[in-house]
Copies of this chain bind each other. A is one copy, B any other.
Amino acid sequence: MREVAALARVSIKTVSRVVNGESGVSPHLARRVTAATERLAYRHNLTASSLRRSDGRSATIGVVLEDVSNPFSSALHRSIEDVAVRRGVLVLTGSSDEDEDRERKLVSAFASRRVDGLIIQPSSHDHSYLLTERRAGTAIVFVDRPAGFFDADTVLTDNAPGVRRGIRHLVAHGHRRIAYLGDLHTIATAVERHRGYVQELAAQKIELDERLVRLDLHGIEKAEAAVTELLTARPRPTALFAGQNLITIGAFRAMRRLGLHQRIALVGFDDFLLADLLEPGITVMAQDPAAIGRTAAEMLFRRLDGDESPSEHHTVVTQMITRGSGEIRP
């Protein structure tokens, strides 16, 4: 900047004014300055700028996801990015892999880079460690899962109600022996979904049979193994409810291998690409990750714009998509 000022024969403050598009610089000088910036290939240093700036904003936010390459998380990521670019804000990302420690490390790495805000898909259950960041002025929004011991804006899916509607759908098609396949009990949404299953069975006056409940199934392989076991044992369920994406796929894989995919009903939580092209198509309770991400990002920026109203808790509702697998009768 000093060099640009020298070449344009103005003070460095005037260069700063031109670079930031401030008014009150004569067109004459402004032209000379822009010419100089171009000639010297001047690149504005935003880190120095944000250091000096009164609001200290870095025009960067941090996003902690479970895994940036997982379709649900990356859809969140994309919709957050879309809101951010419109405001000239860049996105720092990191994957926590369901690890509390990695989540905290990522947040701390983001904090030392002075992000303006954080969007977190939580892996940990105690977020009181974020108090420091909040006091320092960082806006914080949680997505997909609730915060623990920390009051902040949250955007969630209607987990339990979504599962209940799915179970009700199976019951309406004549099922009473409905198995439930759930993810790790450390994941808050998994607990919620399981709760929905238990509640709806009670509401339907169907006795809960623990032999039909398999939890802590993380990933395709575990689900496939569990379902294989479930379907070879007696008494056999006539329908399956899969509490997560990969579990649905694992379940279908097992059913296919056993040749039962046209005979046993399946409803999965969360939609996935190609669910419509399998035979039968898979009936799912579809989440709307794009809406969740957008809502969270908009909330974050509202906070950055100074909104200090009490924390809001949004719920994005799931939508049932019937494709065949959930309409098989016992």
Contacts and interface: CB of A to CB of B under 8 A. Distances in A.
A109 B92 CA distance: 12
A74 interface: yes
A45 interface: yes
A201 interface: no
B132 A110 contact: no
A225 interface: no
Most central of A47, A114, A279 by chain B CB within 10 Å: A47
A185 interface: no
The 8 closest A-B pairs by CB, nearest first: A69-B78, A74-B74, A47-B47, A46-B112, A69-B74, A41-B132, A274-B274, A44-B112
Interface residues of A, number: 50
A253 interface: yes
Interface string A26-69: 00000000000000010111111011000000101000000111
Contacts of A44: 112
B77 A69 contact: yes
A253 B277 contact: yes
A90 B92 contact: yes
Given A67-B78, A81-B93, A94-B91, A48 B51 contact: yes
Interface in A215-253: 249, 252-253
Most central of A74, A88, A91 by chain B CB within 10 Å: A74
Contact of A81 (B50, B70, B81, B94): B94
Contact of A91 (B45, B75, B92, B273): B92
A256 interface: yes
A278 interface: yes
6 contacts: A45-B112, A47-B58, A68-B74, A68-B81, A91-B94, A272-B273
Contacts of A278: 274, 277-278
A91 B63 CA distance: 11
